[in-house]
Amino acid sequence: MTTHTNQTETVLVTAATGKTGRRVAAGLVERGLTVRAGSRTGATRFDWEDPETWAEALRGADAAYVNYHPDLAAPGGEEAMRTFGELAAAHGVRRLTLLSGRGEPEGFRAEEALRAAGVELAVVRGSFFMQNFDEGFIAAGVEAGTIAFPAGGTAEPFIDADDLAEVIVRTLTEDGHAGAVYEVTGPRLLTFVEVAEEISKASGREVGYVPMGGADYAGMLEEFGLPGAEARWLAELFTTLLDGHNASVTDDVRRVLGREPRDFTEFARRAWGDGNA
């Protein structure tokens, strides 16, 4: 049975200003822990592109939330996890929770590289975030009324980032999660067409979905200013993740939190209903 632990007192949250980082940090503060919010410009400087910042951020921390930017499956992710894990072990960090992605083979190799450090590790593999539509990279398209994305008709079990963050907080503050791998999803599968319909209903304005091929999507990202190599990598990642192999739901949110995950309809009403559109 999972029990609360009093051993974890100071937690380093990497990418603490990001979508999950700020939620995890808030949840840890609510539980009375000391949060060391790591970011490029904050009081605790932490930059995944500058390994020289890692050791100082880890010094004196009891645990850490590891959220690698831009993605665990990105080039360099495996090497970064190996180095970070070794530093965490050397500084006496007792517990790590790693954010990973469902169905990402490169990400799985990075998980193993971090696990090799020997620090207690829980892995949380997230499905596609609901919040990508209102505060992420698709939000501008939603505001313009068109979601253009290389998903085709594939269904995805979208996860509320608040649920994911709560799972992460539990793994960092409670015993019983060492060695666990959780795949967190929402309660049902939705296509991007159905997502657009849900947003339209909640916001009271028409939002449509336009499917794109990977090459066209990469070109669109380049037009928005993303470097060509990064744009092509992201397009390939999305088309791979949304090829249908992740089109299933799990009960891991309920296993950890003791309740069902939030549904997209609830999220849409919260994000765009009641005058929030």
pLDDT, tens digit (0-9, with 9 covering 90-100), for 46-72? 999 999 999 999 999 999 999 999 899
Q: Are 89 and 2 in contact (CB under 8 A)?
A: no
Q: What is the pLDDT of residue 277?
A: 46
Q: Which two tokens stand for residue 48?
A: 């995944």
- The percent of residues in the chain predicted with pLDDT above 90, rounded, is 92
pLDDT digits (tens, 9 = 90+) for 110-119: 999 999 999 9
pLDDT band of residue 155 (cuts 50, 70, 90) is very high
Residue 275: is its pLDDT beyond 50? no
By the 10 Å C-beta count (0-12 exposed, 13-18 middle, 19+ buried), 179 is classed as exposed
Give the least confident one: 3-7, 138-142, 209-213, 218-222.
Answer: 3-7
Residue 276: is its pLDDT beyond 60? no
Q: What is the mean pLDDT of residues 25-36?
A: 97
Q: Would you state the torsion angle of the CA atoms of residues 63, 163, 129, 33, taken in this order, to the nearest 10 degrees?
A: -30
Average pLDDT in the chain: 94
Residue 8: is its pLDDT beyond 70? no
Give the least confident one: 155-159, 187-191, 217-221.
Answer: 217-221
DSSP for 17-39, written as a single string = TSTTHHHHHHHHHHTT-EEEEEE
Q: What is the mean pLDDT of residues 166-181?
A: 97
- The closest of 152, 166, 156 to 261, measured between CA atoms, is 166
Q: Are 256 and 170 in contact (CB under 8 A)?
A: yes
Q: What is the pLDDT of residue 78?
A: 97
pLDDT digits (tens, 9 = 90+) for 98-137: 999 999 999 999 999 999 999 999 999 999 999 999 998 8
pLDDT band of residue 224 (cuts 50, 70, 90) is confident
By the 10 Å C-beta count (0-12 exposed, 13-18 middle, 19+ buried), 181 is classed as middle
The reported pTM is 0.94
Q: What is the pLDDT of residue 5?
A: 52
- The percent of residues in the chain predicted with pLDDT above 70, rounded, is 96
Domains of the chain, CATH where assigned: 10-129+159-185+248-261 (3.40.50.720)
**Do β-strands 34-39 and 44-45 pair in parallel, antiparallel, or remain unpaired?**
parallel
Residue 240: is its pLDDT beyond 80? yes
pLDDT digits (tens, 9 = 90+) for 77-95: 999 999 999 999 999 999 9
Q: What is the mean pLDDT of residues 144-158?
A: 96
